Structure 1
């Protein structure tokens, strides 16, 4: 059973592709969801964040205040590294546990690890193939502005804080183009599905 790592930049259309693969029958492991779960009160990552960043980044009910923490790590790359050193190992461990569990279920045709930081978090050893969402910078800026209702400068800043798509492409086994309309992109993904899943069935 093939394990695919699906990755792409902000507003690249990754979630749409992930949902489409799920509709075809793939089992999706959502790394963002895992990252949200591991910072719930009382969990290991929650304790470590409290020790590293203090009580100021938590709400009164002890849940993580993402906006406050986000501001800190967005403005200070060193603090971002501190947070990543807490989050990434736990996300990797939980992702591996889910992959192992799903591999035991022979009815699952394809496992997809949906992870925006697949490459940055060094998760590529967990997967057999890396699929990168290919989107032009112009299209990405346009989508971020529209989605988050922000200025062009703010959109560029958010995109600049991530690994560029061109860099991600160097790790790709396959590219999925989201510069085209959704229907064309879905056709492209369906062809991949036929090639990988249906031909092996």
Structure 2
């Protein structure tokens, strides 16, 4: 099994790359998606969050009010640590389960871990190779304001809160430049998939 870390700053197009790798046969494990799943209504994770933070973090329908919870934890490092102490072990257990299932289904699987904070959390050594989706900050800013409708101030703040472009490129084994059309991105992903397939063959016993 080949373990690939995939990351990229907000607005880089990482999700587009993730989808295209999945279409080509990769098993994609999305850390953000799992983090949402482990605190869905009825889960032990949500029950633990409510036990620590109270019913005020629930919406009327019983789902987690992420905005409310965010406003509580991101201004208090102790509360953020408490939340991470609940969520991170659950995410880790689910990732391990999915990884085991992928290996069971296909021992030669290419497993892509979609991890937005790979660089910030120093996770690069966990993977056989790291792919960084890269675009200039101004390109990302234009996407965030034009496509996502963010204000320029908010978009710049979100970019600044993440690892720098230089730091991400510093851990990259493969860089996917994404400043052009989707057709150009398709061609680049094809090249990367060919490279990953060759790497998988070379690693086979």
User: Above 0.5 in TM-score?
Assistant: yes
What displacement does 1:187 show? 1.5
Partner of 1:34: 34
- TM alignment of 1:13-162, pairs within 5 A: 13-76=13-76, 78-106=78-106, 109-121=109-121, 123-124=123-124, 126-162=126-162
What displacement does 1:93 show? 1.9
Could you tell me the TM-score, scaled by structure 2's length? 0.85
CA–CA separation in structure 1 for the residues paired with 2:146 and 2:183: 20
In 2, are the aligned partners of 1:135 and 1:179 still within 8 Å (CA)? yes
In 2, are the aligned partners of 1:145 and 1:151 still within 8 Å (CA)? yes
Equivalences, count: 201
What displacement does 1:121 show? 4.5
CA–CA separation in structure 1 for the residues paired with 2:76 and 2:11: 23
What displacement does 1:14 show? 0.8
In 2, are the aligned partners of 1:25 and 1:108 still within 8 Å (CA)? no
What displacement does 1:40 show? 1.3
For the aligned residue pairs, the C-alpha RMSD in angstroms reads 2.3
In 2, are the aligned partners of 1:139 and 1:179 still within 8 Å (CA)? yes
In 2, are the aligned partners of 1:27 and 1:111 still within 8 Å (CA)? yes
Unaligned runs of 5+ in 1: none
Could you tell me the TM-score, scaled by structure 1's length? 0.87
CA–CA separation in structure 2 for the residues paired with 1:73 and 1:160: 19
Matched, 1:184 2:151: no
What displacement does 1:61 show? 2.8
Moved more, 6-15 or 189-198: 189-198
What displacement does 1:192 show? 1.6
SS class of match (1:148): coil
CA–CA separation in structure 2 for the residues paired with 1:30 and 1:80: 21
Change (3 A) 1:122 1:84: farther
What displacement does 1:15 show? 0.9
